[in-house]
Structures are given as C-alpha cells and as structure tokens.
Structure 1
Amino acid sequence: MSSWKIPPFLTPGDRVQVIAPSGALKEFSALEEGLEIWRSRGYQVELGSNWQTVYGYLAGTDSQRRQALLEAWENPDCKAILCTRGGYGSARLFEHWDWPSICKISPKWVIGFSDITGLLWRLATVGMSGLHAPVLTTLSAEPAWSIDRLFDCLEGRFLAPLQGQGWGGGQTTGWLLPANLTVATHLLGTPVQPALDGAILALEDVGEAPYRIDRLLTQWRLMGAFNGVRGVALGRFSRCQVPSGSSGWTVEEVLRDRLGDLNIPIVSELPFGHDGVNAVLPLRIQVRLDGDQGILEFVR
C-alpha cells in the first residue's frame, strides 16, 4: 500500500476537467445536470477538448481521446478528471502508448464506471488510485445520499459501510478493486490487468443474459483469476434477465453457481452499478468484507 499514490483530496473552488475517454456523448441534458451538481458544490468545471467529438461510436479517434486525457493530466490546475459516459473505447487508449510516463505527474482523481473500468484498472497497474463512481451523465439520477457520499470521498471525509446480502464465508480484509464484469473479463491477461492478489473484487454488469455472465465467470475460473482474491462484493446486475421464450437459471442463480464454491466471503445486492444507486467505491482502498453480516466496510 505504501507505494500506491492516493490523489490529494479536493476543496471547493478547485478546477476539474471533463473528458470523454470512451463512447460518444448522447445524453446532453443529463451531462448539463451533472455539471450543475459539480458547480453547485463550488467547483470550477472545464470541458476538455473532446467532450462532444464523435468518431463512429467513439468520442473521437484514439489519438484525440488520449490527447484529452493527457491535457487533463498535464494541466497543473486540474485536480480531478470527470468522465462523461461509458459505452466502449477505453481499452483502445492503451495500444502503443507509454502510459507509465504519467506516473511522473502528480496523481489526480479519475471518476467513472462501466467502460471506465479500463482506465481505472490501467491506473491500478501503475500504482494510482481512482473512483468507481457515477459518470457525469448519470450523476443527477443519484439520490442525495449517494451524491453526498461521492463528495465526502473526494473531500476526505469518512465513508459509511455499505449493506448487502451476505452469502457466508466469514470476514476478510483486502484492497478494493471495482469493475464492470464484462469490461474486466476482456482485460484479463493483458497489460491493463492489475495483479489480483489480495484484492476484494467489486463487480457489476448490465444487459448481459445469465448464460453470458456464466461464460464470463467461467473464463475467470479457467484462467485461475480468482486465485489470491480474498472476497467478492457484488453490486447490481441490471437487465440481466433470461431472454424471453428461454428457460434456465436467473442471473442470481448463475452468480451463486459460479462463485459460491470459492470458499471466500461474498456479499451481494450492494448499492452500486447501472440502473440504480451507484455508491462510490475508491480503488485500492483497504476494506473489510463480512460475508456473514453482508457488510462492505472501509478501513480507516
């Protein structure tokens, strides 16, 4: 933990910068609502060079999206990087790019989830923390307590535990590694994957039929990717129903089948992910997972 870089906490009045590292922006009104929340908290918000660029389904070419990210990193007045949306495209940023050179720059918060998993995981490989949290286009849909929690985290205040459904397995401590399951699975075995030893995985997904969730988790098992993982915290698996006219397991049954024999603490139904409350999860922060009581607790 001592080698990990935790970005400085924010103070109202700080400048933050908006970038689009993945999909092209569609939700303009939702973006403006998210920006207004940041402004109402006293922050100066600057739009990056590619925030409304469109290149197919991407928010600009790989070079344009890398450049927007670099501009935010290299701007000494920028204290945090806000991602507009997920979609697809973050993994493409890391081809033929000397990402570790960014380590020479002071760390700053990167905030997002879903496809932003690629950016957060790449940060983890070079020793930087980040926040798995609402993107700007989903922020205004959060309840007040979740928005307060995001700013509590960014401004250095204590985070209350999250309550879910315990599957048993006792208690464990480890470092938190949040991710969208689909995005993370496609990063396994690549330079974007951080080491998983000692991790407590926090997984969520959206729009995947149960058999596809089975396929993803089976890949983790076949690769031995769960070896060294100390616990699993499951968020929302929304729109993951059995296809109409089909039969088979529900997504909850698939999760229990593929994870229930790992002999580690597991907690489900935690309030993070798509289509509902998306409580902030800091990357690489020490946590305690209680599989009996169903609690994810942040260790001071």
Structure 2
Amino acid sequence: MRARIIPPALHKGDVIQVVAPAGRPSAVEPFRSGLAVLEQMGFVVRYPERLWPGSGFLADSDTARAEELNRAFADDRSAAIMTVRGGYGSLRILGGIDLDLVRAHPKIIVGFSDITVIHNHLLASLGLVGLHGPVLTSLAASTPDSVMRLYRCLTGSWRNAFALPGIEILRGGAKVEGILAGGNLTSLASLLGTPYDFSWQGLVVVLEDVNEPPYRLDRMLTQLAIAGKFNQAAAILLGDFSLADARLYDTGPVDQEWLWQRVLDLTAASGIPVWAGLPAGHGPENLTLPIGADVVVNSNRRSLFFC
C-alpha cells in the first residue's frame, strides 16, 4: 500500500462540488434536500447548471463522467467533492480518471455504494484517503448521528476513537492494526480479474450491500474467498445488509445470522477478527468512515481508533 495522501479538512464557507460518476438523481426532492443539509452545515455547494443528461442507469457518457470528476479535482475553488448517488457506472470510468491530476490536487471525495470502486482505486493507486458516507441524495434521509458524523469527518475530526456499543463481535482476539478499505460487496467483487483489483493484505475491510438475495451474497463472498482475499485481510467489518424483497426471490430474505456464519466459515483458516452490525451501508444510519486511514480494531473495547 502506498503512503497515504490526506486531503485538507474543510472550513465553513468552503465549496463542495457535486458530481455524478455513476447514476443520476432519480428524483428532484432528495437532491434539493441534500443540498439544503450541506448548506446548513455552512458550506457552499456547486453543481452543474444543466443537470446530468444521461438516460437509463448512467448520469452521462463514460467520457463525460470521468471528465467531470477530473475537473472537480482540478478546480482549486472547490475544497471537496460529493457524489450525487451510487447506482452503477463507476467501474466504467476508472481508466479515465487522471491520477496525476488527483495527486496534484487532492480533495476529500464522499460517497458509498458504487462509489466504493473509486475510493479503493484512488487508495490503491495514490494512497488517497476518502470518506465512505452518505451521497447527496441520501443525506436528508440519514439519521442525525450520520449527518453529524459526516460533518465532523469533512472538517477533519475523524482521527479519534469510534465507540460501537451495539457491534456484534463474531470473532474477537487481540487488537489488530491495518488500513481501512472496502465498502459495497457487489462493487468489490466486480473488481476481481480487472487491472483495478487490489490486494487485501493488511487491510481492515468493510463489507455492506443492499437488496441482494442469499445466493448472490454467497456467490460473491465465495468468489472473494477463492481469490484469496479473506486470507489477506487483517479484519472484516460487516455493515448493513438490508433485506432483499422476499417476493422477488424463491430463497426468501437474507438471514443475518446465516450471513455472519458464512463469513466466519470463510475466514476460519486465518482466524481474523470479524465484526457485524457496523452502522454503515444503505440504511438511514450510515456513519462516515475514512477509507484509507490507519485503524486499530479493538474487540475488547468494541471500538475503532482512526489515526
């Protein structure tokens, strides 16, 4: 893993640029409400005068989405970048991201879900620390704790103990130190076999997903295990795995305990710590995590310490 690049923290009055590297807003109200939350935090928010023209599941063409992200990094008038939503499409633009430009103009980039591939690509390629947290269109529906956590992380207050009294310690052990990585399970699995795959060696990996039936979750977890990822990781932190609609699948909804046991089985050889119930993912409680930060996993104290 490369030496880390930690972007400058924000101050009130700083500009946040909104970009759409994946999908476009599906409705106007969550977009406007998200803008209002950022403005209430004291930031100035900029976004395209002509909102993203894409149709279907993409905000725009691959070239246009990559160029928009590059412009946001290059623009010294903006202090941070917030993605408008996840969805699909980030994988398609990774080759178009100008890494030299990002290295020269490091900024905080915020998002989760499909944005996972961007966070981990920039971490593996440059060592850039990013924020796995709400996207603009999920911000207004987030819990007050999630909004406050995002504000603190944007303004540089992520280097502290993060107590998790409700966490489930599926397998504990001694304190573990590593670099925080990961995010959406489907997005991480999509990197396997591509030039953008990265080693999990020494990483504390967050996994979360939404509306996936058990057989798909099992397929992705098994694929990662066969690829050797779980044998490389220092610890696994399982976030929110929102239930799939049982009406859509003959397998029924996800049984959390089944999921937890499957991860324990796949990590049995390494014996690494496995936690469940991390308040991160597609639900209203999506507490911002600094992807790329050094983290101490303390099972005895049920806390993460970022430094």
How high is the TM-score relative to the length of structure 1? 0.92
Does 2:294 match 1:299? no
Counterpart in the other structure of 2:223:
219
Contact in 1 for aligned 2:131/2:288 (Cα 8 Å): yes
| TM-fit CA distance, 1:270 | 1.3
Contact in 2 for aligned 1:289/1:296 (Cα 8 Å): yes
Counterpart in the other structure of 1:6:
6
Provide closer, same or farther for how the CA distance between residues 205 and 197 of structure 1 changes in structure 2, counting only shifts above 3 A: same
1:113-192 equivalences in 2 (<5 Å):
113-126=112-125, 127-158=127-158, 159=160, 160-163=162-165, 164-170=167-173, 171-192=175-196
1:66-105 equivalences in 2 (<5 Å):
66-95=66-95, 97=96, 99-105=98-104
- Identical-residue share of aligned pairs (%): 35
C-alpha distance in structure 1 between counterparts of 2:149 and 2:141, whole Å: 14
Contact in 2 for aligned 1:235/1:268 (Cα 8 Å): yes
2:280 to 249, 253, 272: 272
Structure 2 residue runs of 5 or longer lacking an equivalent are: none
Contact in 2 for aligned 1:66/1:93 (Cα 8 Å): yes
Provide closer, same or farther for how the CA distance between residues 108 and 102 of structure 1 changes in structure 2, counting only shifts above 3 A: same
Contact in 2 for aligned 1:175/1:287 (Cα 8 Å): yes
Deviates more, 1:255-264 or 1:3-12: 255-264
Aligned-partner SS, 2:38: helix
Aligned-partner SS, 2:148: helix
Provide closer, same or farther for how the CA distance between residues 49 and 228 of structure 1 changes in structure 2, counting only shifts above 3 A: farther
Contact in 2 for aligned 1:149/1:279 (Cα 8 Å): yes
Q: Any runs of at least 4 consecutive aligned residues in structure 1 with deviations exceeding 3 A, and if so which?
A: 48-51, 240-249, 290-293
- Describe the superposition over 1:207-247 as per-residue Cα deviations: whole angstroms up to 9, x where unpaired: 11011111001001111112220100111100236666547
C-alpha distance in structure 1 between counterparts of 2:97 and 2:276, whole Å: 37
Provide closer, same or farther for how the CA distance between residues 98 and 161 of structure 1 changes in structure 2, counting only shifts above 3 A: same
How high is the TM-score relative to the length of structure 2? 0.90
Provide closer, same or farther for how the CA distance between residues 49 and 184 of structure 1 changes in structure 2, counting only shifts above 3 A: farther
C-alpha distance in structure 2 between counterparts of 1:144 and 1:284, whole Å: 25
| TM-fit CA distance, 1:288 | 2.0
Aligned-partner SS, 1:167: strand
| TM-fit CA distance, 1:188 | 2.2
C-alpha distance in structure 1 between counterparts of 2:71 and 2:156, whole Å: 25
Provide closer, same or farther for how the CA distance between residues 125 and 49 of structure 1 changes in structure 2, counting only shifts above 3 A: farther
Deviates more, 1:98-107 or 1:256-265: 98-107
Does 2:209 match 1:205? yes
Does 2:278 match 1:283? no
| TM-fit CA distance, 1:149 | 1.0
Does 2:259 match 1:254? yes
Structure 1 residue runs of 5 or longer lacking an equivalent are: none
Counterpart in the other structure of 1:230:
234
C-alpha distance in structure 1 between counterparts of 2:219 and 2:49, whole Å: 38
| TM-fit CA distance, 1:53 | 2.0
C-alpha distance in structure 2 between counterparts of 1:51 and 1:132, whole Å: 24
C-alpha distance in structure 2 between counterparts of 1:44 and 1:33, whole Å: 14
Q: Aligned letter for 1:253? A: W
Deviates more, 1:239-248 or 1:228-237: 239-248
Provide closer, same or farther for how the CA distance between residues 2 and 56 of structure 1 changes in structure 2, counting only shifts above 3 A: closer
Counterpart in the other structure of 2:106:
107
Contact in 2 for aligned 1:175/1:198 (Cα 8 Å): yes
C-alpha distance in structure 1 between counterparts of 2:109 and 2:50, whole Å: 16
Query: How many residue pairs were aligned?
Result: 298
C-alpha distance in structure 2 between counterparts of 1:263 and 1:292, whole Å: 16
Aligned-partner SS, 2:232: coil
